[in-house]
């Protein structure tokens, strides 16, 4: 279980200006979820997911993993934590000078796994993602979808309980997107990995997520089960993302325009919506 409690993140620059990228976020991802976090560009999605594994340090609030407050983890604790949480990015982030096999071996090498066990683990993962016959290729010799499969295999190397995916299909066509999402669903089902997917596409949420949080203007404006959010969307931004309300030339809805926003109630998955949406 991943819990964010009253979490805020303010970016400060050297010239004294600051920007509040996350405001008072309460969110709970339960074990077994495929949890979608959706919002327009700049809403705070990447900041939110990067706070879950402390790639960004929250300015206020707490991050709990399996009930343990990890907000101030450093050094060895942080290293151990990161091995429990895999991460995947839009641009794949593969090592261009390493073959497919050596990319997947990398996280096993830095944990000093024995060479033969690391090798068999890496090959098992390449089989899982359907790339067994490409282990000697370099990333530049792969399609985008294949590169994303390598990055999924690499993220799973240390048997994480959680997989955080930041726009993992944004650079891919719709059919390749569908196959990558099907792979994630299989990983969730067969390996029991809890998955968080950041996206700006409702189609991604619809395809694989059981729950969704809509983020707008640094706040969560709506969250709950996908079936409920899709059947009766409340916040204006959700209606816009679903294509049910027009977007003006000015900009998509901003949270500020929808008034007070209720936080996610960690005690269950009931709907939360902006008060006047």
Ligand X SMILES: Nc1ncnc2c1ncn2[C@@H]1O[C@H](COP(=O)(O)OP(=O)(O)OP(=O)(O)O)[C@@H](O)[C@H]1O
Any contact of residue 234 with Mg ion (CB under 5 A)?
Answer: no
Query: For residue 216, which of 23, 2, 60, 12 has the smallest C-alpha distance?
Result: 23
Q: Which of residues 197-256 bind ligand X (CB under 6 A)?
A: 200
Nearer to ligand X, 14 or 112 (CB): 14
In the structure encoding, which two tokens stand for residue 77, read together?
């604790």
Query: For residue 99, which of 126, 139, 131, 128 has the smallest C-alpha distance?
Result: 139
The span of 40-48, 132-140, 156-164, 251-259 binding ligand X (CB under 6 A) equals 40-48
Q: How far is the CB of 36 from ligand X (least distance, A)?
A: 13
Any contact of residue 19 with ligand X (CB under 6 A)?
Answer: yes
Q: How far is the CB of 141 from Mg ion (least distance, A)?
A: 28
CA distance 57 to 126: 33
Any contact of residue 46 with Mg ion (CB under 5 A)?
Answer: yes
Identify the sign of the CA torsion 70, 71, 76, 79: positive
In the structure encoding, which two tokens stand for residue 197, read together?
């997917």
In the structure encoding, which two tokens stand for residue 248, read together?
């003006």
Any contact of residue 18 with ligand X (CB under 6 A)?
Answer: no
Q: How far is the CB of 45 from ligand X (least distance, A)?
A: 4
Any contact of residue 47 with Mg ion (CB under 5 A)?
Answer: no
Residue 225, binding choice from ligand X, Mg ion, none, Cβ under 5 to 8 Å by partner class:
none
Query: Pairing mode, if any, of strands 85-89 and 68-69?
Result: unpaired
Q: How far is the CB of 158 from ligand X (least distance, A)?
A: 25
| Residue spans of beta strands (DSSP E) within 112-210 | 162-166, 194-199
Please, is 64 exposed, middle or buried when counting C-beta atoms within 10 Å of its C-beta (0-12, 13-18, 19+)?
Answer: middle
| Binding track over 143-182 against ligand X, x by CB under 6 A | ----------------------------------------
Residues that bind ligand X in the complex, under the rule CB under 6 A:
11, 19, 21, 39, 41-47, 200
Binding residues for Mg ion, rule: CB under 5 A, are 46
């Amino acid at each position: 279980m991943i819990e964010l409690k009253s979490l805020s993140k303010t970016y400060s620059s050297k010239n004294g200006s600051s920007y509040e990228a996350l405001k008072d976020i309460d969110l709970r991802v339960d074990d077994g979820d495929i949890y979608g976090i959706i919002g327009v560009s700049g809403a705070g999605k990447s900041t939110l997911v990067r706070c879950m594994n402390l790639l960004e340090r929250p300015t206020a609030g707490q991050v709990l993993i399996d009930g343990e407050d990890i907000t101030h983890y450093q050094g060895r604790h942080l290293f151990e934590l990161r091995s429990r949480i895999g991460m995947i990015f839009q641009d794949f982030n593969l090592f261009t000078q390493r073959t497919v096999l050596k990319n997947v071996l990398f996280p096993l090498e830095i944990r000093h796994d024995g060479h033969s066990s690391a090798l068999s683990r890496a090959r098992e993962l390449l089989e899982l993602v359907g790339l067994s016959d490409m282990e000697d290729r370099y990333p530049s010799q792969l399609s985008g979808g294949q590169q994303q499969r390598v990055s999924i295999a690499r993220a799973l190397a240390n048997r994480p309980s959680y997989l955080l995916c930041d726009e993992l299909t944004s650079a891919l066509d719709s059919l390749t997107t569908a196959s990558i999402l099907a792979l994630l669903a299989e990983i969730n089902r067969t390996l029991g990995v809890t998955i968080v997917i950041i996206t700006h596409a409702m189609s991604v949420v619809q395809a694989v997520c059981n729950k969704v949080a809509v983020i707008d203007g640094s706040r969560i404006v709506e969250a709950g089960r996908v079936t409920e959010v899709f059947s009766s969307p409340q916040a204006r931004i959700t209606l816009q993302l679903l294509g049910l309300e027009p977007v003006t030339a000015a900009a998509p809805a901003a949270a500020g325009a929808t008034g007070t926003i209720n936080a996610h109630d960690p005690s269950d998955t009931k709907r939360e919506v902006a008060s006047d949406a």
